[in-house]
Amino acid sequence: MRRSTALLVVIASAACFATLAVLTRLAYAEGGRPLPLLSWRFAIAATLMIAFLAVRQRDALVRGLRDLPRYAALSFTGYGAASICFFFALQHITASVATVLLYAYPAIVALAEAVLDRERIPASRLGAIGLTFVGCALAAGVVDSTIVVNLAGVLLALGAALGYALFTVLSDRLAGGRPRLVLMAYTFTLSALGVGLVTIIVGEPLSPAAWSPALWVVLALIVLLPTYAAVMLFLRGVSELGASRAALVSTMEPVFTVVLAVVILGERLTAAQSAGALMVIAGIALAERPRRLAEVPAGV
């Protein structure tokens, strides 16, 4: 694959990831609930990925069974937990704001890696981290007197950022060198089991029998676009561009989400929120540029 083509592939991946928040809000409008939606999203996407691997990389899929405890740690403390927080955040705040706040995760990763590796954080990266968090505050409406801040939604979105940052850091340390598609397939499988169990424990109906046809269509889109296609495209682009550059390009996701939310959901950001979103994107670009990221898809 040519590098220009790989660049387009990663941009397409970011666009696919960007549909998640918008589609989830549409699912809620059709009566969907966070936990059942997540359970079926993970279960169907995992089935597709495992089927693909069974045909193309069966040996890697079988060898991955030895790493199930590691994948479980990545799922239950990182990816699955982040996804639960993100889906619940979307019940309280807009798709645009939730996605911008989620993208605090590169700044959290930069801080975590500096602590774990006992490295001094360069002034430029500290500036990027500060820029990101100030941008998050603006996007959340904390300094805008015209906006009523939904604290639960903001905290849940930041919890999603923390969970995804944990997944990013641990995936490099616990599963470094493993095929990334195998990692995602097993992470999705275990996340489906974990979220499904939580759904049953809290007493929510897991069966989709009563779902409307429209909700089924939205779920299909959630599985195909921001889950399966986004992951497959990102990993394909990483193989040519490398993880750092691919991760940098994927920071276009909040931009795509804001545009889609305006067009499809009729959302609007205030001037302060728009400035905050731009600051977050700039902070991400500055924070990610000097370091090599784990080759994991950039989104929940």
pLDDT digits (tens, 9 = 90+) for 28-48: 999 999 999 999 999 999 999
pLDDT in tens, 219-257: 999 999 999 998 888 888 877 776 666 666 777 888 888
Instruction: Tell me, yes or no, whether 158 lies in a domain.
Output: yes
Instruction: Tell me, yes or no, whether 254 lies in a domain.
Output: no
Instruction: Tell me, yes or no, whether 86 lies in a domain.
Output: yes
**Residue 7 above 90 pLDDT?**
no
pLDDT computed for residue 204 by the predictor: 93
State the average pLDDT for the chain: 85
Residue 296 pLDDT level (bands cut at 50, 70, 90): low
**Angle at the Cα of 181 from the Cα atoms of 207 and 82, rounded to 5 degrees:** 55
**Residue 293 above 80 pLDDT?**
no
pLDDT computed for residue 88 by the predictor: 97
- The residue segments making up the domain with residue 178 are 34-218+270-288
pLDDT computed for residue 87 by the predictor: 97
**Residue 203 above 70 pLDDT?**
yes
Distance of alpha carbon 157 from alpha carbon 159, whole angstroms: 5
Instruction: Tell me, yes or no, whether 96 lies in a domain.
Output: yes
How many domains does the chain contain in total? 1
Instruction: Tell me, yes or no, whether 87 lies in a domain.
Output: yes
35 burial (CB, 10 Å; 0-12 / 13-18 / 19+) is buried
- Tell me which DSSP letter residue 250 carries: G
Distance of alpha carbon 32 from alpha carbon 261, whole angstroms: 18
Instruction: Tell me, yes or no, whether 5 lies in a domain.
Output: no
Nearest 10 degrees: Cα torsion 155, 199, 187, 160? -10
Instruction: Tell me, yes or no, whether 275 lies in a domain.
Output: yes
Contact 217, 4 (CB under 8 A): no
Please indicate whether residue 290 or residue 198 has the higher confidence score (pLDDT).
198
Distance of alpha carbon 278 from alpha carbon 272, whole angstroms: 10
pLDDT computed for residue 77 by the predictor: 82
Instruction: Tell me, yes or no, whether 70 lies in a domain.
Output: yes
